[in-house]
Structure 1
Amino acid sequence: MKMSNKISIKTLSLAAVAAALAIFNQGCKKYADVPPFFEEIDSLKANAARKVLLIGIDGAVGSLVKDAALPNLTAMQEHSKFTFEAVSDVVTTDAASWKTLLTGVTYASHNVKDSSFAFGFTGDQNGHGAVKQYPSLFTNILSSEKPDLSTAIISPWSNLVKKLTPEVDNNYIATNDADAQDSTLKLLQKNVTPALTVINFNEAAIAGKNGGFSLTNSNYSSALTKIDGYIGAILNTLKARPGYNKSEEWMIIIASTHGGVNDTYGGEAPTETNTFMYIYNEKFKKLEFTKEGALYTTYINGKTTAAVRAVLNDPNAYDLSMAPITYQFKVKGVRAGNYPVFFSKKGPSKDVNVIRSADPGFAVIASNGSNGVQNFIRGTGSSSPGAGLTVFDNTWHDVAFTYSDSISKRWAMIYVDGVLASTQDITGAGSSWAAFKSTEPLMFGYKQADYQDPVNAYYADIRVFNKALSGDEIRDNLCVQNPLANHSSKANIIGYWPCNEGFGNSYKNLAPAGAGKDFILENKFSWTLMDAIPCTFPSSPAAGKLSKVLYSVDVAPIMMYWLGVNVKGNWNWQGNASWLSDYEVEFLQ
C-alpha cells in the first residue's frame, strides 16, 4: 500500500487561516474544526532541524504499563524524562482525552466528550451564547510565526483524523494498529518528514473493554506487548535516518491518552485517569517523575457566597448518628477573624448562625486566643467541648474528633497531633446518637457563625472510621502512610480522601466502603503544589526520581516548546512546558 494513495496534503493561505479562526469565535452555532484544503504530496517542504513524534496510546493504564516492564519502553528510560503517574483529565472518553492532548486545554474548557467532537453547548434554548472553541495545535501552528511547519497524523480512528485534526498536512486512516505502524515506518523512511507527526494506537483500549483493563486479561497484556513492539520498530526506523541526532533533533513523546477501570473508561476513577508519559531525546538524562514527595491540593478559603468549600456529595453519609465514629484530617491554615466555622455537618444550609441554631449535628470553629478548636454539638440539647492546643498557625497539624459510648454515657474527644486536648460528656445533648442526625452534608469551609469570618486552610489525608479510635491508635498511626494498607484499624476506614488529585473538581474517596462519596469543590478554586507536606505523605521521592506530575494538557505546549513555536496568550492554553528549561543544559550545546 503506497502512502501517496492514502495520505493527502493541504496548505492553508493566511486568509484561509484567518477565516477558519473566525469560525471558532462564533457564538450561536456549533462548528467542526477547520475544514481541510488538499494538494499533492509532492508539495511537502523541508523543515527545521527540530522534529516531534507523538505516539498516543488509548487505554494504557500507567501503573499497568510499569508493571508490564515492556522492553522497548524500558530501554528508552535511559534518555527520557518519564512517569507512570501522569494524569489525563476528569472525562476520559477517547474524544475528551484526545481533545485535551492536542489543544492544550482541559475538559472543563473544551467540553468535548463524544466522537462528534462537538462542544457540549449549555447556552440558551435558542442556541445563543458565547461559545469558546479550542482548535487543535495544528491550527495554532498555522497562525503562529512558523506556519510552514508540516504535520502528519496516522490513526485507526477516522473521527480523530476527520473531525479533530482535518487541517493536518498528511492524514492517514489506518485499518488497525499494525497498519498504523507500517504507515509510520513508510513515512519515516522518506527523505523529508514532517516537523510534527502524531501516531495513534487504540488496540489496548479495545482489549481492555473486552476482558478488563488488567494484566490478567491476556488480550490486554498482549495488546500492550504488541504496541511496545511497534514502538521499537518505529524507533529503529527513526534512528536509521541519515540525519538522526545530526541534522535532525527529535523529541519523541509516548503517552497514554487515558486508562480504564474494569472493562470500561470515560469517567474519572483513579485507573481511568492514570496514564504514563515518556519524553525522549538522545541527549536527555534519565529521570523519573513521581507523585512521591508532592502534595497537590486546594486552598479552602473565603466567605459567604464566594467561599471555596469541599462539600460531600451524599448528605446522609458519615453522620454523627452513626457513632461510635472518628473524623480525622491534616490541616494547614490560619484563622481569619473571630470564631469561624471550618468543619461541619449541621444546618441550617443558608447564611444563618450555624453554631447557635437548633439544627442537630456538629460545627467546629477555630477559637480565638490559642488558635485551637471548639466543637459545637447539638442534639436535643447542646455541648461545646474545646481544645486549647494550637492548630491554626499555618503549619500542618493532625486533628481528630472521636465520639464514643461508655456504659451509660456518650463522649466527645478532641486530639491535636496525637495529644488528647479535650474530653467532654455529651450525654445531656441527646438521648441517643440518633438525636444528632443531620441532613446537611459533611463539609470543610465557611459556614456563618457569630461573625462572617473564615478559616483559610489546606486539608489533606481526611479519614473517617466506624469506631472511636483510642488515643494510642491515633498516636501510633499519626504519620502512617497509605492507611488503607498500613493503619492498625484499616478495616474500620469507611472514608479516605488524600486530597492529592491535582486536577478535577473533587476529592476522591479511596476507601472501598466509600466509593463515589466524594467531596465536591465549590466556587473558584485551584490546585496548588505544596512546598511543605504532612507526614502521612512521603517527604521526598526515591533516588533517581523527582516530585512532579505531568498532565495530558501539558503535551501540546511541550511539543510547541521543542518546535520553537511561541504559545500565544489568546490560545488560552492551560498546559505547562516551562519545566523543560531546567534541562536545557542537557540538550542545548
Structure 2
Amino acid sequence: MKTLKNTRQMVNKGFLLLMLCFAFLGCKKYFDPPDVFEEQTIVNVKRKKVLLIGLDGITGADLKTIAPPKIQEILTKSKYSYDGWTDMPVSDAGSWKNIMTGVSIGTHGVADSSFDASSTVIGGEHDARAVYPTFIERLQGSGKIRYSAAITTWQKLSQKLFIYSDFPIVVANDALVKDSTLKKIAEPNMDLVIANFNGANKVGLAAGFDANVPEYKNAVLQLDTYIGELLAGIKARPTYAKEDWLVVITSTHGGDGKSFTSGSKRTRNIFTIYHQPNFVGKELPAQPVVDGVTTSSKNVLASLSAANSAAYGLGTTGDFTIQFKVNLKAVPSGSNHATILSKINAAYGNATGWEFMYEASTKYFRVILGSGSSATLKFLVGTQVTDVNKWYSLALRVHTEGGKRYAQLFQDGKAVKEPTDITGFAMGTASDLVIGTIASSLGTCTQNVNQLAIYNTAISPQAIQNFVCQEQIPDTDPYFNNLIGYWPGNDAQGTVLKNYAPNVTGKDLTITATSGTNFAWAPLAAWTCTPGKLYLTHNSDISQQLYYWFGVNIEAKWVTNGKVWLSDFESEFIK
C-alpha cells in the first residue's frame, strides 16, 4: 500500500510540475505583429440589357443631313455609320429577316411581305425546310436573358419574327409603339426590348424619301422625339446604375423618290448606331462595298458559250488585255491547281486557249496559254504568295512590238516578269468563257470575281496600275471604247452578269448551279487603297453584336453572314 501511495504522490508532483512549465511558457512574450486589414475587392457585374430600335425607310445619307437633335446628342457616346447596307431586292420583310436572324437575303430568300423564301432570290435548288432562328430564340436558349418584348404596328412582322419574344405586341401607330415600349422598358426583369417604327416609311412612299421633303423631314424628327423619350425611360429605371444598356438604332432600308424597291444605292443605304455610356464617339470609316456572286468549286459558274464569246479568244494575232479583281474564299491543297477564269478547252494537256489559275503548290497565280499541244504550253507564273479573303488585281497584257507578239502577267498593277514571246502561237476561240472551276481542273476554287474587263488593245501599264484602286471603270476612261467585254459583276440580283461594254449586245454571262446547289448575291467588302481599318456595316451584323454583348458564342452551324466588330472597342466598356 505504501508503495502505491508513493507512486500516486510522484505522479501528482509530476503533473503539477508540468502545469507550471505550461504556465511559464504561456506567460512568455512573443512578437505580436500589428493587425493588417486587407481591403476587399467587390466586383459588381452589371446586368446586360438591349434596346433595339428599327426605323423603316430612313436612308443613312438623309439622317446625316437632317441631324435629329436627340440622335445627335448620343453620337458622342456611340459607334455609328451612315454608310450601312441592306440587301437586294429591298423589302421590309427581307430587311427585318436580316436583322432578326443574322442571315442575308441570299441565304434566307425572303424578298416580300409574305416572309416566304423566293426561288428568284436564291439561285439553284432551294431547300424550303431551311430554318434560321431569330436572335430572340438563341438568346432565350442561352439563358442570357430573362424576358423580352417586341412592339410593332405590322401584324405580319409580329407573327413571323417577333412572336418568339415573351411579349409580342401589335399596336395601331408609332405613338403607341413608343408608349408600349416605355412600359416594357420600365418592367424590372426585361432584358431585351425591340421597337419598330414605320412612320417615316409611310411618309416617304407618299411624299418622297428625301431630307429636302418637309413631310419626310418632319416624320424623321418625330421619331427622334420618340427615341429621346425611350432613352429617358431607360435612365429612369430604379436599377439603372446596376445595369449595362446597349441601345441599337438602325434603319431597315432607305428610299429613292417615292419607292424603296428600285435597287438604287439610296434604297439600300441604311444607318446604324450603337450607343453605350462608356463608348468614345466614333463614326466608323466605311468599307467600300460591291455586290457579288461566289462561284463555288465546279458547282456554281458564270459562263458565255463559245459561239457568243469568240471575240474573247486570243487567236494568233492582235493585241488584247484581260483584267479583273479576284477574292479567293477557298483554295485547293497539294498540287491540285484550279482554274479561276478561262476560255480554254482543257485545264491541262493538249489545251487550246487561255486560263488564269491558282497554283496550289506555290500559292501563286498563273496564266497558261495553249495552242493544242502540252509540249508547247506557255506558263506565266506569279511570284507573290496569295492569301484567302483578300482582293487581288490580275491582268494579262498581249501586245505586238517589232513584229513579235508578247504576253505578260500583271499582279496588283505590277508586271510579274519580262514579257513572254508568243509569236505565231494559235490560241483559238472555240471554248466557253467561264468564271469558276471548269470540269477538267483537278483542283477547285471558291472565289468572287468582279470588274472583269477585256479590251481589243494592249492598254498601258499605267492604266493597269490605275485599275488596282478603281471602284469601277468609268466611261471617261481613255480605254473605255476599247472594251469589248465588261462585266462589273455587281448586278445584285438575277441570274446573269451583264456586259456593260459599249456597243456590245448579247454577251451577258449566265450564272448556273448544279443540282442541289444554291448561289446568292451578297454585298462584299470591296478592294480599297485607303489605309486603316474600315467597317462594312450591314443589317445582318446586328444579331452578331447582340450575341457578343450578351456573351453568347456564335456557332458555325448557325451560318450567320455578318461578323462581330464591336469587340474592337471593348476596352472602352469592359472595366
TM-score, normalised with respect to structure 2: 0.66
1:198 aligns with 2:194: yes
Count of paired positions: 500
C-alpha separation between the residues in 2 aligned to 1:194 and 1:87? Answer: 30
Aligned residues of 1:364 and 1:375 also touching (Cα < 8 A): no
Aligned residues of 2:547 and 2:554 also touching (Cα < 8 A): no
Alignment deviations for residues 511-545 of structure 1 (CA, whole Å, 9 cap, x no partner): 69799967859669999999xx99x622523xxxx
Structure whose CA Rg is larger: 2
Q: Structure 1 residues 102, 508: closer, same or farther in 2, change over 3 A?
A: farther
Matches within 5 A, 1:33-432: 49-66=47-64, 68-89=66-87, 92-118=90-116, 131-145=129-143, 149-185=146-182, 188=185, 190=186, 192=188, 194-210=190-206, 213=209, 215=211, 220-239=216-235, 241=236, 243=238, 245-260=240-255, 264-265=259-260, 271-292=266-287, 306-307=297-298, 311-312=302-303, 316=308, 319-320=311-312, 326-330=321-325, 337=335, 341-346=339-344, 356=350, 362-364=354-356, 372-376=366-370, 386=378, 388=380, 390=382, 393-394=385-386, 398-402=393-397, 413-416=407-410, 417-419=413-415, 421-422=419-420, 424=422
Aligned residues of 1:557 and 1:575 also touching (Cα < 8 A): no
For 1:453, the equivalent position in structure 2 comes to 442
C-alpha separation between the residues in 1 aligned to 2:252 and 2:480? Answer: 35
Q: Structure 1 residues 285, 132: closer, same or farther in 2, change over 3 A?
A: same
Aligned residues of 2:406 and 2:419 also touching (Cα < 8 A): no
What is the CA-CA distance between 1:558 and the residue it aligns to? 2.8
Letter in 2 for 1:61: T
What is the CA-CA distance between 1:281 and the residue it aligns to? 0.5
For 2:471, the equivalent position in structure 1 comes to 482
For 1:16, the equivalent position in structure 2 comes to none
Matches within 5 A, 1:21-40: none
Letter in 2 for 1:414: Q
What is the CA-CA distance between 1:294 and the residue it aligns to? 9.7
- Runs of 5+ unmatched residues, structure 1: 1-47, 123-128, 431-435
Q: Secondary structure at the match of 1:159?
A: helix
Letter in 1 for 2:367: V
C-alpha separation between the residues in 2 aligned to 1:112 and 1:529? Answer: 16
What is the CA-CA distance between 1:165 and the residue it aligns to? 2.0
What is the CA-CA distance between 1:400 and the residue it aligns to? 2.2
For 1:6, the equivalent position in structure 2 comes to none
Q: Secondary structure at the match of 1:327?
A: strand
Q: Structure 1 residues 146, 444: closer, same or farther in 2, change over 3 A?
A: closer
Q: Secondary structure at the match of 1:547?
A: coil
Q: Structure 1 residues 277, 574: closer, same or farther in 2, change over 3 A?
A: same
Q: Secondary structure at the match of 1:284?
A: coil
Q: Percent identity?
A: 22
Aligned-pair Cα RMSD in Å: 5.3
Aligned residues of 1:62 and 1:86 also touching (Cα < 8 A): yes
Q: Structure 1 residues 152, 411: closer, same or farther in 2, change over 3 A?
A: same
Q: Secondary structure at the match of 1:200?
A: strand
Aligned residues of 1:52 and 1:196 also touching (Cα < 8 A): yes
Q: Secondary structure at the match of 1:258?
A: coil
Aligned residues of 2:101 and 2:560 also touching (Cα < 8 A): no
Alignment deviations for residues 184-217 of structure 1 (CA, whole Å, 9 cap, x no partner): 45655x4647321111122444445456655566
Q: Structure 1 residues 388, 134: closer, same or farther in 2, change over 3 A?
A: closer
Q: Secondary structure at the match of 1:199?
A: strand
Q: Structure 1 residues 285, 233: closer, same or farther in 2, change over 3 A?
A: same
Aligned residues of 2:369 and 2:377 also touching (Cα < 8 A): yes
1:471 aligns with 2:460: yes
Alignment deviations for residues 160-203 of structure 1 (CA, whole Å, 9 cap, x no partner): 12332224343433333344335445655x46473211111224
Aligned residues of 1:413 and 1:424 also touching (Cα < 8 A): yes
Q: Structure 1 residues 387, 214: closer, same or farther in 2, change over 3 A?
A: farther
1:551 aligns with 2:532: no
C-alpha separation between the residues in 2 aligned to 1:110 and 1:308? Answer: 20
For 1:537, the equivalent position in structure 2 comes to 528
Q: Secondary structure at the match of 2:284?
A: strand
For 2:19, the equivalent position in structure 1 comes to none
C-alpha separation between the residues in 2 aligned to 1:310 and 1:270? Answer: 26
Aligned residues of 1:82 and 1:278 also touching (Cα < 8 A): yes
Range 365-374 or range 70-79, more displaced: 365-374
Q: Structure 1 residues 146, 384: closer, same or farther in 2, change over 3 A?
A: same
For 2:570, the equivalent position in structure 1 comes to 584
- Runs of 5+ unmatched residues, structure 2: 1-45, 121-126
Range 92-101 or range 224-233, more displaced: 224-233
